[in-house]
């Protein structure tokens, strides 16, 4: 099993972890109804994706 020769400093440890953050979800506006939805996903309000209806959503 690996055993560290020296203690890793807080600075070095935190620099390594700088990329472990959560990113914000990118949202796009639906061209059909104007609701916000995730990029490359179906709009759950109207069921449209890229200008055509792919999901039957009854309100």
**Structural domain spans, the chain:** 26-59
Report in angstroms the alpha-carbon separations of 43 from 17, 25, 29, 53, 59. Answer: 34, 15, 9, 10, 14
The whole-angstrom separation of Cα 30 and Cα 41 is 10
For the entire predicted model, the pTM comes to: 0.60
**Which pLDDT band, with edges at 50, 70 and 90, does 57 fall under?**
confident
pLDDT of 25-46, one tens digit each?
999 999 999 999 999 999 999 9
């Amino acid at each position: 099993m690996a055993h560290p020769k020296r203690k890793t400093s807080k600075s070095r440890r935190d620099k390594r972890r700088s990329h472990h953050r959560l990113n914000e979800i990118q949202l796009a506006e639906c061209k059909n109804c104007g609701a916000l939805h995730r990029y490359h996903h179906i709009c759950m309000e109207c069921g449209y994706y890229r200008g055509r209806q792919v999901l039957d959503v009854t309100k």
